[in-house]
Structure 1
Amino acid sequence: MVAQRLLSFATFSVVLAASSSALADGDPEVGKKLFFERGCAVCHSFDGTAKQGPTLIGIVGKKRQVITSEKPREIIADEEYIRRSVLQPNHDIVQGYVPGAMPGLPITPDEARHLASAIVKLSGSATPEEKPRGSIGALVASTLLFVLGHLVLSSIPVRGIFERRIGVKWFQTIYSILAIASAIWMEMSYRAAPYVELFRAPPWTRWIPLAVMPIALLFFVCSVSTKSPTMAGMEKTVAFEPRGILRITRHPMLWSFALWGFAHIAANGDIASLILFAGITMLAILGMMHIDSRRRVTLGDAWTPFVEKTSLVPFARGNVGKAFAEIGAIRILVSLVVFGAFLHFHKAVIGVSPLP
Structure 2
Amino acid sequence: MGWLEFTAALMLFLASHAIPVRPPVRPWLVSRLGLRGYFIAYSVLSLAILAWLVVAAARAPYVGVLPYWEGFRWVPLLVMPLACLLAVAGMMRQNPLSFGGLGVRAFDPADPGILAVSRHPLLAAMALWAGAHLLANGDLAHVILFGLFAGFAWMGMALIDTRKRRQMGQGEWRRLSRNTARLNLLRLRPTASEAGWAAAVFLALLILHAPVIGYSPLPW
**Smaller-chain TM-score range?**
0.7 to 0.9
In structure 2, the residue matched to 1:231 is 99
- Residue of structure 2 aligned with 1:303, choices 161, 173, 183: 173
Higher helix fraction: Structure 1 or Structure 2?
Answer: 2
Amino acid at match of 2:192: A
In the alignment, does 2:71 pair up with 1:201?
A: no
Change (3 A) 1:266 1:232: closer
Q: Which has the larger radius of gyration?
A: 1
In structure 2, the residue matched to 1:290 is 159
In structure 1, the residue matched to 2:81 is 214
Higher strand fraction: Structure 1 or Structure 2?
Answer: 1
Supply the distance in 2 between the matched residues of 1:264 and 1:150 (Cα, whole angstroms): 21
In structure 2, the residue matched to 1:266 is 135
Provide, for residues 205-255 of structure 1, a one-character-per-residue CA deviation record: whole Å limited to 9, x for no partner: 111111111111111111111222123577xx6664343211111111111
In structure 1, the residue matched to 2:31 is 169
Supply the distance in 1 between the matched residues of 2:174 and 2:89 (Cα, whole angstroms): 23
Secondary structure of the structure 2 residue equivalent to 1:309: coil
RMSD after superposition: 3.1
Contact 1:147 1:279 (C-alpha < 8 Å) held by counterparts: no
In structure 2, the residue matched to 1:280 is 149
Change (3 A) 1:308 1:284: same
Contact 1:254 1:284 (C-alpha < 8 Å) held by counterparts: yes
Supply the distance in 2 between the matched residues of 1:256 and 1:270 (Cα, whole angstroms): 22
Gaps of 5+ in 1: 1-132
Supply the distance in 2 between the matched residues of 1:311 and 1:281 (Cα, whole angstroms): 18
CA shift for structure 1 position 192: 3.4
Supply the distance in 2 between the matched residues of 1:139 and 1:187 (Cα, whole angstroms): 9
Contact 2:93 2:101 (C-alpha < 8 Å) held by counterparts: no
In the alignment, does 2:198 pair up with 1:335?
A: yes
Supply the distance in 2 between the matched residues of 1:140 and 1:239 (Cα, whole angstroms): 43
CA shift for structure 1 position 285: 1.8
Aligned residues: percent identity?
A: 33
CA shift for structure 1 position 271: 0.8
TM normalised by structure 2 equals: 0.77
Gaps of 5+ in 2: none
Secondary structure of the structure 2 residue equivalent to 1:284: helix
- Residue of structure 2 aligned with 1:344, choices 207, 215, 220: 207
CA shift for structure 1 position 153: 5.3
TM normalised by structure 1 equals: 0.50
